[in-house]
Structure 1
Amino acid sequence: MTAPATPLEQRLAAHLQQLYPERDAAGLARECLQRLGLAADTPSPAPHRNLWDQSDIMVITYGDSLRSDSEPPLRTLSGFLEARLQDCISSVHILPFFPYSSDDGFSVMDYTTVNPSLGDWDDITAISRQFKVMGDLVINHCSSRSLWFENYRAGLEPGAGYFVEVPSEADLGAVVRPRTSPLLREVKTPGGERHVWCTFSHDQVDLDFRNPRVLLEFLGIIRLYLDRGIRWFRLDAVAFLWKIPGTPCINLPETHEVIRLLRLLIEHHSPDAVIVTETNIPNRENLTYFGNANEAHLIYNFSLPPLLINALVSGSCKHLKSWLMTMPPAQYGTAYLNFIASHDGVGLRPAEGLLSDWELQTLISTMQRFGGRVSSRTTAGGESCPYEINISLWDALRGTNARGPDQWQFARFLCAAAIMAALEGVPAYYIHSLVATGNDQARVDNTGSFRSINRHIWRSEDLEAALDSDSHHHRVFEAMRRLLRLRRRQPAFHPNATQYTLHTGEALFSFWRQSIDRRQSIFAIHNVSDQPQSVSLSELNLILTDQWLDLTSGETFENHLAQITLMPYQFLWLTNQSP
């Protein structure tokens, strides 16, 4: 006699029934639990738990962003993080560290092995003992040189039914594409010629989650990552996961169902685990990946990079402020992941509807003037249009639209970092932003990929020398470390603390944060222009009985009616309580 299904089995079966209505959902639920090593009676974690606080700051890096001749890159990275950033960050996102065939790691050949050129699993586990580690679950596609795809071409398992096949004559006109390459690739199989789906490139073949065997494979991979100390999971390109010809094949209901299913299983296995969805799409669509606090714990704030950079090079925060006012506060148990720069470029789709075509073109032209490149995508109508700007953040903030490069690069750069640190959400800083790495044009010439411009590889000895010398790298890095240490001590900067946008004109980007216990308030005021700007403290409605302190300078303000002038790109964090 079959035992009654537990609450976990029932919930899991409900998700599976939506995805695979022709399958035995109860039996498949038991297989899922077995793959993840979960008991059917595992208790559910409490809902709406904040698994983060104001001390949580992430660094984004490749496993070999730093290289040394004397040790594997992951060990070099570990040493750098411990020696230089131990008191500044809590988490590290190590970009794909697996054997790969292209796209700097995002064309995975083997999900179960660390790339030997980087190190091994012991190196990953060692880093996880010091920091929270976020790993990439490259879930939409795998390498054409993977065992799965080789088996597919030979008609063998595992792999024979793992990839999306469509007839060459299928109606794919509505499919949303992030690239300009042909969507389908011809492949010879024992059953004849087939056309497989390739959203990103012909070396990155899309996996078919309509086959539950693919889901089970990834549950086994997730279990391995959990066993090795990874607790944060970045679901790469997950918006494209489910394909139905005749639809846009992005943000489909089945994709959200898969995320809910993964969330259910992962948080039952490890209640401290976190799911982050990487969905480089317009803002309104991006917000749907929170679900009802039952999908992603964190979503990337993809609109922030283009809007913040635009504000700082145009001298106007009009669009940045308008966007911030429309952003709903994240429910407890969810949060925004804020970033300005990453291994990819500055996405332009998240700015759609927020910046006009003229403003986008002005931004693009300015970034090209500062050495940037522009990658394109193909629209549903078959036209090519800008998709992302490829540039290092240090060079992106070299000057302004109107005047070009100027003397305010350092101040502008630090202002950008401060805005991100103060906003609602968890801030994530790219390692090349922390050390102010410039455009790597030589790497672009070598690889032929525009994204290589912001994927410089430092010899660790050279970086250490630069950070210990009188260089802009040293100046930026020390300023960033001070800023991050300061941010980590402020309860009002908890990722879920209250936030209100203030109206202080187009040149001053200002907002108010209040700690969850309501004891600390911070008025964050940032001059985003290259001209001095004044603000009256009376405009901020400071509580007259409190003494107010600028955390960034230590200056106190007893005259609550005082007029304050901020120099170009200067910022103030005014608080009534300094921990």
Structure 2
Amino acid sequence: MEYIKQRLSAIYGESEAQKIWTGLRGKLLKAKQTHHKERKQRWDEKDVVLITYSDQFQEEGKPTLATFEKVFDRYLADNFEIVHLLPFYPYSSDDGFSVMDYKKVNPIAGDWGDIEKLSKKTRIMFDYVCNHISAKSDWFKEYIKGNPEYADFFTEMDQDTDLSAVTRPRPTPVLTKFKLEDGTEKYIWTTFSEDQIDLNFKNPFVLLKMIDVLLFYVEHGAEYIRLDAVGFMWKEVGSTCIHLEKTHQIIKLFRDIVEEVAKGTVIITETNVPHEDNISYFGNGSDEAHMVYQFPLPPLVLYTINRGNGSALTQWARNIQPAGDETTFFNFLASHDGIGLNPIRGIIPEEEILALVSELKEEGAKVNYKKNPDNTQSPYEINVTYLDALNKRSDDDDLRMKRFLSAHSILLSLQGVPAIYIQSILGSRNDYDGVAKTGMNRSINRQKYRLEEIEAELTKPSTLRSKIYRELTNIIQIRKAEHLFHPDVPMEVLEKGEKIFALTRGTDSRESLTIIHNIANEPVDVELSGEFINLMTGEDLIFINTVTLDPYQFLWLKSSN
């Protein structure tokens, strides 16, 4: 374990690291002796992730995890090898991301027995909300009381400190004023909201506490661990306070720990930032995150289908460098958050981004804004279900479904591990009642369902939900059965004209996939010759010179050489 001690010294210096090393070493030795669920090593084509809330489905008088398990068994288990349970801990705001107690399950959801039961049926991704904690947590309450053990757990700052260089993901102030029980007023660092208090990782005992949480999650079955808002963990006045070197060192330490204690546990960083900053969390390819979110993908696919032009997506995808032998991309189109815009700044001209935002607002989408250093505001994310983002309110369901399935074909065919949000496989529309109820734009894409209501829609063949569920399930099943979709199989993006997004997957000319998407609302001819098997239908096809694709049609073709 000497290398872990060296990592601690790189963060704090040898003297400070020594203060917590004995305690940490004891925790690690104990964790190694604990029986852990056997973990899959690495990933393959069968790994498709479901993103969901633990209270997504509800029945009267029953814990929501038990109800989720029913839905999972009946409709989802064959599709998804991994379930990302969004924060299922007691919380005070932000639908779970303001955690009051890291080691408890929200009583509405159930208890650790329900988590264990689900983990026997699927692999589970836990959210590790490591940057901040609820203002209503015991930790912060003890700070307010003046408990000396918690005196340095949070970042106090003079209210007049120049923090203009700090990267702001929200329009709210960096500092929030709190009054301690002794009457003293303190200004505390709050990156996201006044209810989400940033932890002070400059205090090594804070890190020790959070490592204890990390080990607790591993012990309780977490096979994937998502590091929420991780880029903001370390603060240095005068800097942007995002992506700082000490933040990278802490993530590397987390990876060191999970590989020491339970090898096969996957660390995923959530950093909604431009591509170059995002992939920096791969480290050297073997010492930091195993996966990073592919954040440009959701807005790029949306922009591509909205404009009927694949040039930007093609150019971006052609320039993606392979993740490496020990890392891969976590691909997604929709999540519990909005569709982030920062990752495509520099890929799409700003005027085009603003035009897209304006058009989507006209069609009913909501928008969240960020505060810039000059006190102006820019759109930060679009809040909308992905189904409604791709379509106008006047479109018919047939067109709506074609666009939606084409977008998900892109997601499922790219190199990496794909993740699908629960609202997407359910074919959900914008939830304006949810927005009105909570006052939060993000509620538009966070609708919860009574079990009997969602089952009635899924089992009625004529509903849009049922059609999307069946069609998307079919695509997922075909993907999982084809070894050439393994995340490590090379990808080459092809130039086939602005109305086409096309790529190949394969290791040699004898066996490969050719995947072609018409992303326009008109028929398009594509140059293509050869003998293929259509993976969607199983039929043999021969093309000489060209193939014509209908609007939004896509083909998954396997060479039959």
| TM-score, scaled relative to structure 1 | 0.92
Candidates 48, 68, 77, aligned match of 1:86: 77
Q: What displacement does 1:158 show?
A: 4.5
Q: What displacement does 1:563 show?
A: 2.1
Residue 65 of structure 1 is matched in structure 2 by: 56
Distance 1:159 1:199 in 2: 19
1:527/1:171 CA distance change after superposition, 3 Å: same
Distance 1:518 1:287 in 2: 30
Residue 553 (structure 2) pairs with residue 570 (structure 1): yes
Tell me if the contact between 2:511 and 2:559 (Cα under 8 Å) persists in the aligned partners. yes
Residue 235 of structure 1 is matched in structure 2 by: 227
Residue 166 (structure 2) pairs with residue 175 (structure 1): yes
Tell me if the contact between 1:50 and 1:332 (Cα under 8 Å) persists in the aligned partners. no
Residue 344 of structure 2 is matched in structure 1 by: 351
Residue 4 of structure 1 is matched in structure 2 by: none
Candidates 386, 390, 397, aligned match of 1:397: 390
Distance 1:565 1:70 in 2: 54
Residue 436 of structure 2 is matched in structure 1 by: 445
Q: What do the CA deviations read for 1:171-217 (whole angstroms, capped 9, x no partner)?
A: 20100000011111112234832110000000001000001111111
Candidates 376, 380, 383, aligned match of 2:376: 383
Tell me if the contact between 2:20 and 2:205 (Cα under 8 Å) persists in the aligned partners. no
Residue 237 (structure 2) pairs with residue 245 (structure 1): yes
Please, which moves more after superposition, 331-340 or 18-27? Answer: 18-27
Tell me if the contact between 1:497 and 1:514 (Cα under 8 Å) persists in the aligned partners. yes
Instruction: Tell me the SS of whatever aligns to 1:569.
Output: coil
Residue 5 of structure 1 is matched in structure 2 by: none
Residue 9 (structure 2) pairs with residue 25 (structure 1): no
Residue 515 (structure 2) pairs with residue 524 (structure 1): yes
Distance 1:287 1:365 in 2: 30
Distance 2:522 2:509 in 1: 34
Q: What displacement does 1:28 show?
A: 3.1
1:404/1:304 CA distance change after superposition, 3 Å: same
Residue 89 (structure 2) pairs with residue 98 (structure 1): yes
1:20/1:389 CA distance change after superposition, 3 Å: same
Tell me if the contact between 2:51 and 2:83 (Cα under 8 Å) persists in the aligned partners. yes
Residue 534 (structure 2) pairs with residue 550 (structure 1): yes
Give the counterpart letter for 2:532 in structure 1: W
Give the counterpart letter for 2:495 in structure 1: H
1:53-452 to 2 correspondences below 5 Å: 53-156=44-147, 158-189=149-180, 190=182, 192-293=184-285, 294-399=287-392, 407-452=398-443
Distance 1:302 1:360 in 2: 15
Candidates 467, 471, 476, aligned match of 1:484: 476
Distance 2:29 2:455 in 1: 43
Q: Which runs of 5+ in 1 are unaligned?
A: 1-7, 43-48
Please, which moves more after superposition, 547-556 or 350-359? Answer: 547-556
Give the counterpart letter for 2:544 in structure 1: L
Q: What do the CA deviations read for 1:514-562 (whole angstroms, capped 9, x no partner)?
A: 15x8863111101111111111213xxx5xxxx411111323223x424
Give the counterpart letter for 2:123 in structure 1: K
1:165/1:474 CA distance change after superposition, 3 Å: same
Distance 1:551 1:378 in 2: 47
Distance 1:220 1:34 in 2: 11
Distance 1:334 1:50 in 2: 12
Identity level (%): 39
1:339/1:259 CA distance change after superposition, 3 Å: same
Distance 2:341 2:520 in 1: 22
Instruction: Tell me the SS of whatever aligns to 1:23.
Output: helix
RMSD, aligned CA: 2.0
Give the counterpart letter for 1:335 in structure 2: T
Q: What do the CA deviations read for 1:265-310 (whole angstroms, capped 9, x no partner)?
A: 0111111100000000111100100001211100000000000011
Q: What displacement does 1:372 show?
A: 0.4
Please, which moves more after superposition, 373-382 or 78-87? Answer: 78-87
Tell me if the contact between 2:129 and 2:229 (Cα under 8 Å) persists in the aligned partners. yes
1:214/1:195 CA distance change after superposition, 3 Å: same
Distance 2:346 2:90 in 1: 39
Distance 1:157 1:482 in 2: 58
- Number of equivalenced pairs: 553
Q: What displacement does 1:445 show?
A: 0.7
